[in-house]
Amino acid sequence: MNQTYYTVLTQKGIALLDNATSLGVPIKITQMAVGDGNGNITTPDATQTELVHEVRRAAIDKLFVDNENPCQIIAEQVIPETDGGWFIHEIGLFDDKDNLIAVGNYPATYKPNIIEDSSRTQMIRMVIIVDNTEAIELKNETIEVFAAQQYIEPRADATQTAATQKYVNDTITAKITAHEKSTNHPDATTSAKGFVQLNSAINSKLETQAATPRAVKKVYDKAVKRAGDTMTGQLTLSSKGLKINNDNNDSMTLMTSGDRYSHVFYDAKTNRSARKLDYDSTENIWQFKNVKDVTINDKSVLKAGDYGIGSTEGAPLSNANDILLTGFYGTDPYNRPGLPDLGDDNYYSTLAVYGTGSRYGGHVEQLYVPALRGPRILSRSVFSQTEKRNWIESITEANINRFLTPVGAILQWPGIQPPAGYLNCNGAMFDKEKYPKLSSIFTSGELPKLTQEPDWSKTQQFIYIVKAK
């Protein structure tokens, strides 16, 4: 057979037709099926009992004898625009008992469905040649010729309201054939529809190809981080920093500015941001900002009231008698209650309060240092708000002459060298002419030997000194 597209009766169909002719009971051809032939145009085979790959089967819309050829029976089926999304390469006729009566191949035709932009209604016609058309029951619902107005050529009579069956068939065949042979399908662009090639690459810059689901998944796996994922590689902060939100709408932002790295905290209640901790790489120092307390291993190391926290001069001093909290406290130029009365020397002074390690609660040591004409050092123990000891001034080189110490008076001195105006009581001879008042007390010109050789294994050392003049 030289025809490319044709229909043959199957062996089952021939047997059923012969049986129908001999018994006088016509067979009922009720259904038509179409298939895609697994992607290929098929070759009809009389031994077939089914299509190579059936994609749709439905009732025949029209079954009739060809008026121009009484030996030809024509079966027609309309595939609505809602069905499709596949190619048609093969067709078949079935009786009411699902027997394949005739099978044929079909020009490669793509049938779109309604969700595609080019959806359309498709009519399939199948012609079979039989010796006795009466062996086939032709009783069926006759439908109107579909979409006749769509296929009337301009040369047709304008008063004609319906096209002939042959005209419709010929017109449909001509248009389908022309469409199949057309190669003028444009490629899709970013501004126009058309055919498009798929691409699974994730680094392509093409705008004429579409990404496949595989490419989308690759990008998703690389870009999207989910709960529990581990981030690797270096994290680079932008100029706006790295923001971490809390459930109460507070947040912390890690920011860089010049040579400074900062922890900035945002308080949602006050709608204000404040730097809490800075690192200055130029000075190589950490700086606490707007912090009340700093702890290490749950122990406070810096606290509001300590020198350098809250004020460059320490916490303001109001009344020294009320202070039991360790720390450094600065005074303004005036005297404050609880401090020793040193007159003008009370100006610009500092009070240091530190724990003494006593097992009794509320026991601290207070060290008072006025620096205007000093320094002078005074201290006292404070056991409670109500029980305090008197201030005791320590002797220093700066204040030793303030004491009314007579010539010849012997004192303990915390050091190894006596201050000016004093001599070491080490048994040495002194110049009686240089120290006439002292020679009246030590007439032999010899100092008493009271100072022992210093024991440097001890943490505290002192010598005995005598006022020489």
DSSP secondary structure string, 289-332? Answer: -S-SEEEETTEEEEEBTBTTSSSTT-EEPS-GGG--S-EEEE--
- Residue 373 predicted with pLDDT over 70: no
Token pair listed for 323: 């202070």
Sheet containing strand 285-288, strands side by side? 242-245, 251-257, 260-267, 272-280, 285-288
Higher pLDDT, 447 or 375: 447
- Write down the pLDDT at residue 279: 87
Percentage of the residues of the chain whose pLDDT score is greater than 70: 71
Higher pLDDT, 282 or 48: 48
What are 300-311's pLDDT values in tens digits? 766 655 544 333
**Beta pairing partners, 429:** 446
Q: What is the mean pLDDT of residues 378-391?
A: 73
The distance from CA 374 to its chain's CA centroid, rounded to whole angstroms, is 61
DSSP H or E run through 377? strand 377-382
The SS3 call for residue 149 is helix
Chain centroid, CA 170 distance in Å = 63
Whole-number pLDDT of residue 430: 92
The total of other beta-carbon atoms located within 10 Å of residue 403's CB is 11
Confidence of residue 188 (pLDDT cuts 50, 70, 90): confident
- The answer to pTM > 0.95 is no
- Report yes or no: 140 and 60 within 8 Å, Cβ to Cβ: yes
- 419-423-424 Cα angle (round to 5): 100
Q: What angle do CA 285, 290, 295 make, to 5 degrees?
A: 70
**CA-to-CA dists, residue 128 to 23, 63, 69, 105, 227, angstroms:** 21, 11, 11, 13, 66
* pLDDT of 200 strictly over 60: yes
The secondary structure of 208-229, three-state, reads CEEECHHHHHHHHHHHCCCCCC
Residue-level pLDDT at 95: 93
Asked if residue 409 has pLDDT above 70, the reply is yes
Per-residue model confidence (pLDDT) at position 394: 78
pLDDT at residue 458 tops 60: no
Residue 374 pLDDT class (50, 70, 90 cuts): low
* For range 223-239, the mean pLDDT: 69
User: What's residue 386's pLDDT?
Assistant: 60
With 90 as the cut, is the pLDDT of residue 91 above it?
A: yes
pLDDT band at residue 143 using 50, 70 and 90 as cut-offs? very low
In 157-307 the beta strands, taken as DSSP E runs, fall at 197-199, 209-211, 242-245, 251-257, 260-267, 272-280, 285-288, 293-296, 299-303
Q: Higher-confidence residue: 460 or 247?
A: 247
Token digits of residue 102 = 């005739």
Mean pLDDT of 226-237: 70
With cut-offs at 50, 70 and 90, classify the pLDDT of residue 429: very high
